[in-house]
């Protein structure tokens, strides 16, 4: 598959003073951050989207520039669920720890290494694969400088506890050594039987763990952030009696799973939360919050928004003017997506599955409009789509002299609108989305006059998967020998 680069600036201005500051809008779960030289580098979860683990660089922690991806091909040992990348820097090397589903097994923690943060990364393979699953890795040196791996045993996936473990790790990051030791587990009511996403910072006499408790994802999430401290990395650990220290408010819900970082003598936490405006449709977005260490040996968040003004992405235009896809395009890890760009035309090979082959971009607003031109020489059904996953998608596609609106829900395909086009021609397809869920499709054969495809507004509330967000993009459906031709993609965020 081709390597993707993202030249767009993807920061939005902050919200009200009672909220934390948004710095990575769109679907960026489990954000991790590290300082390397004079820059900050961040990465986020992609789950079942590919390419994996987008990279961003910043000088101020507020304005982030896309800088490629960690993996543009799936690691040999894994097949899906690429979660929780933790980007770190140690002794001149960049290490990225991540979780993935092992072929024929369960979730494992693995590591990759690079000489520079933009890569290329060499995968070092799995470090720990427990029967219930192992996720959310964080490396930390103890008070004597010995390197450890901290992680969560994914017991909640099989109805068991979720202990946080520590084990010594080889300096080359190829194996854990010695016995694992439990640091703490869920024992507070607000944690709802689940703790995860631990990151640790050391200050004076204490190691401080920032961790998440509760359910991370989806419309029923109840995530929050707690803190614990210990004078030795291996404990004993005590939790702050005032936990959770971050919880939902008027603007954001389910905040948690991030990384602390220092800038100019001040301390910040980059983490995710759902916007109460875009909810699960916009995904878990990257927030920044400053914290300080208190006289009684704890830390507290200031909940400020004065870290600098972000730049708002109002419009994304892709004229397919380079040989590689630009913009924040992703596809399913379960699809063998084949494409190429020739003469400012994206050629996307079809797939016969219910969803077809698709490419999607993260939604950045509650209300937005997307458009694309389908070329008349397309041999596949070619169209514009709102995407959940391989079994849940809504798309308007042209084929010959017909344009159809097709709903795929739980793998079942239903045509919900159909119109005839008098003669085969290039077709401009437009989708107007309001309040996250209400979608109206129109189309034009001359680029000026638009006709309504669906007189009844379509509902996409069924689309978001449990752990991801809606994407908007392109679809090509048919035999693998058929191809869809696209020009001039436009996404306007309102």
pLDDT tens digits, 38-80? 999 999 999 999 999 999 999 999 999 999 999 999 999 999 9
In this structure, the answer to whether residues 291 and 322 fall within a common structural domain is no
How far apart are the C-alpha atoms of 332 and 360, rounded to whole Å? 9
Q: By the 8 A CB rule, do 261 and 271 touch?
A: no
> Which residue in the block uniquely carries the two structure tokens 């603007």?
251
Q: Which residue has the higher pLDDT, 392 or 6?
A: 392
Q: Is 157 helix (H, G, I), strand (E, B) or coil?
A: helix
Q: What backbone torsions phi and psi does residue 189 show, to the nearest 5 degrees?
A: -60, -40
Cα dist from 158 to 134, 395, 418, whole Å: 12, 36, 45
| Co-location of 392 and 267 in the same domain | no
| Number of separate domains in the chain | 2
Q: What is the pLDDT of residues 257-302, one digit of tens each?
A: 999 999 999 999 999 999 999 999 999 999 999 999 999 999 999 9
Same domain for 470 and 378?
yes
Beta carbons of 259 and 89 less than 8 angstroms apart: no
Would 2 be classed as within a structural domain?
no
Answer yes or no: do 111 and 139 share one domain: yes
pLDDT for residue 75: 98
Confirm if 52 and 46 have CB atoms less than 8 A apart.
yes
Please check whether residue 308 lies inside any domain of the structure: no
Residue 412 placed within a domain: yes
Question: For tokens 């683990």, what's the residue?
Answer: 53
> What's the pLDDT score for residue 327?
65
Are both 285 and 335 inside the same structural domain? no
What does the pLDDT read at residue 326? Answer: 76
Q: Which residues pair with 93 in a beta bridge?
A: 90
Least confident of 18-27, 191-200, 390-399: 18-27
221 and 287 fall within a common domain: yes
Q: Which residues are catalytic?
A: 30, 196
Domain ranges, residue 271: 21-301
Output helix, strand, coil percentages for the chain, rounded to the nearest 5.
0, 55, 45
pLDDT of amino acid 438 = 98
Q: Are 344 and 451 in contact (CB under 8 A)?
A: no
Lowest mean pLDDT among 14-18, 93-97, 281-285, 302-306: 14-18
- Evaluate whether residue 1 is within a structural domain: no
Q: Is 474 within a domain? A: yes
**Model pTM score:** 0.94
Strand extents, DSSP E, 176-312: 176-184, 195-203, 206-213, 224-230, 238-239, 252-263, 266-275, 284-293, 299-301
DSSP secondary-structure letter at 330? B
pLDDT of residue 348: 98
pLDDT, mean of residues 476-486:
98
Long-range CB pairs of 238-243 (<8 Å, 24+ gap) are 239/184, 239/188, 240/298, 243/188, 243/190, 243/213
**Helices and strands in the chain, H and E counts:** 1, 38
DSSP string, 268-299: EEEEEEEETTTHHHH-EEEEEEEEEE-TTS-E
Q: Is 16 within a domain?
A: no
| DSSP characters over 5-65 | B--S--------TTSPEEEE-SS--S-EEEEETTEEEEE---BTEESEEEEEEESSSSS-E
Domain co-membership, 185 together with 254: yes
Q: How confident is the model at residue 2 (pLDDT cuts 50, 70, 90)?
A: very low
Q: What is the pLDDT of residue 306?
A: 84
- Going edge to edge, which strands form the sheet with 357-362? 357-362, 471-477, 381-389, 392-399, 402-409, 412-420
Structural domain includes residue 5: no
Mean pLDDT for 220-224 is: 96
* Cα–Cα distance for residue pair 223/215, rounded to 1 Å: 5
228, 184 in Cβ contact below 8 A? yes
Confidence of residue 425 (pLDDT cuts 50, 70, 90): confident
Tokens read off for 472: 């908007």
CATH number at residue 30: 2.115.10.20
In percent, the amount of the chain with pLDDT more than 70 equals: 96
Final residue before a domain boundary, out of 301, 325, 356: 301
Q: Based on the fold, state whether residues 190 and 265 are members of the same structural domain.
A: yes
Domain final residue, candidates 268, 301, 334: 301
pLDDT, residue 93, reads 98
One domain, residues 182 and 323:
no
* Cα–Cα distance for residue pair 389/236, rounded to 1 Å: 43
Do residues 288 and 58 make contact, with C-beta atoms less than 8 angstroms apart? no
What mean pLDDT is reported for the chain?
A: 94
Is 10's pLDDT higher than 80? no
Does the CA dihedral 295-300-306-309 come out positive or negative?
A: positive
- CATH number (domain holding residue 445): 2.60.120.200
Instruction: Quickly state the pLDDT bin for 19 (edges 50, 70, 90).
Output: low
Q: Say whether both 271 and 410 belong to one domain.
A: no
């Amino acid at each position: 598959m081709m390597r993707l680069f993202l030249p767009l600036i993807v920061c939005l201005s902050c919200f009200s003073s009672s909220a934390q500051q948004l710095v990575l809008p769109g679907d960026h779960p489990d954000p991790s951050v590290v300082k390397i030289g004079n820059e900050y580098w961040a990465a986020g979860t992609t789950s079942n989207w590919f390419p994996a683990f987008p990279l961003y660089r910043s000088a101020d922690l507020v304005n982030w520039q896309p800088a490629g991806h960690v993996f543009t091909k799936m690691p040999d040992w894994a097949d899906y669920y690429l979660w929780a990348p933790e980007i770190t820097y140690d002794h001149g090397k960049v290490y990225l720890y991540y979780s993935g589903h092992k072929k024929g097994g369960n979730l494992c923690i693995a590591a990759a290494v690079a000489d520079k943060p933009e890569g290329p990364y060499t995968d070092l393979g799995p470090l720990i694969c427990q029967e219930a699953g192992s996720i959310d890795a964080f490396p930390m040196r103890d008070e004597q400088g010995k390197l450890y791996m901290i992680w969560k045993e994914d017991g909640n996936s099989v109805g068991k506890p979720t202990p946080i473990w520590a084990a010594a790790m080889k300096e080359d990051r190829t194996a854990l050594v010695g016995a694992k030791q439990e640091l703490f587990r869920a024992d507070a009511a607000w944690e709802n039987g689940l703790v995860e996403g631990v990151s640790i910072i050391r200050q004076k006499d204490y190691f401080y763990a920032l961790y998440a408790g509760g359910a991370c994802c989806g419309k029923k999430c109840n995530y929050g952030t707690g803190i614990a401290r210990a004078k030795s990395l291996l404990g004993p650990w005590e939790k702050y009696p005032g936990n959770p220290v971050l919880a939902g408010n008027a603007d954001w819900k389910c905040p948690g799973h991030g990384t602390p970082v220092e800038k100019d003598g001040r301390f910040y936490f980059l983490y995710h939360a759902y916007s109460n405006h875009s909810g699960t449709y916009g995904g878990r977005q990257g927030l920044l919050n400053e914290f300080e260490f208190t006289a009684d040996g704890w830390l507290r968040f200031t909940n400020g928004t004065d870290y600098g003004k972000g730049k708002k992405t109002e419009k994304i235009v892709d004229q397919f003017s380079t040989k590689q896809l630009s913009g924040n395009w992703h596809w399913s890890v379960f699809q063998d997506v084949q494409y190429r760009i020739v003469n400012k035309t994206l050629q996307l090979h079809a797939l016969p599955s219910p969803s077809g082959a698709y490419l999607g971009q993260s939604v950045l607003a509650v209300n937005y409009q997307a458009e694309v031109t389908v070329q008349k020489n397309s041999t596949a059904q070619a169209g514009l789509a709102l995407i959940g996953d391989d079994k849940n998608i809504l798309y308007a596609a042209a084929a010959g002299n017909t344009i159809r609106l097709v709903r795929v829900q739980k793998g079942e395909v239903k045509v919900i609108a159909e119109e005839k086009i008098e003669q085969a021609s290039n077709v401009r397809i437009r989708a107007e989305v309001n309040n996250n869920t209400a979608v109206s499709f129109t189309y034009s054969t001359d680029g000026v006059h638009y006709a309504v495809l669906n007189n009844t507004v379509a509902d996409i509330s069924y689309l978001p998967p449990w752990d991801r967000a809606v994407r908007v993009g392109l679809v090509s459906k048919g035999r693998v020998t058929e191809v869809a031709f696209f020009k001039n993609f436009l996404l306007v965020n309102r």
